[in-house]
Amino acid sequence: MTLLNDQFYIIHAITFIGLLLAITDSFITQISTNIKNKEETSKTIKKYLIYLGVVLFWLIVVIMFEIRSYNKMQEFLR
């Protein structure tokens, strides 16, 4: 049972790191191509901050769900 939980956490960690790397790579590419246009750069920064906010919100929801399911599993095993 513990191995399954560990694998579950590892999969979520890899997914989260992958999302952050993809967003960061796209962000750096957009900024480097629009470095001369300040208005476009600020729009890009706002857009990617929203993306990061969504990813962090998703991570918090997943962690809360995992803690809740872990507590239910512990109660069931008692």
pLDDT of residue 18: 84
Domain encompassing residue 52:
2-77
Q: Which residues contact 40 (CB under 8 A, 6 or more apart)?
A: 34
- Rounded-to-5 percentages of helix, strand, coil across the chain: 90, 0, 10
pLDDT digits (tens, 9 = 90+) for 55-66: 888 878 877 777
Sign of CA dihedral 56, 48, 33, 19: positive
Model pTM above 0.75: no
pLDDT for the residue numbered 1: 47
What is the domain count for the chain?
A: 1
pLDDT beneath 50: ranges in the chain: 1
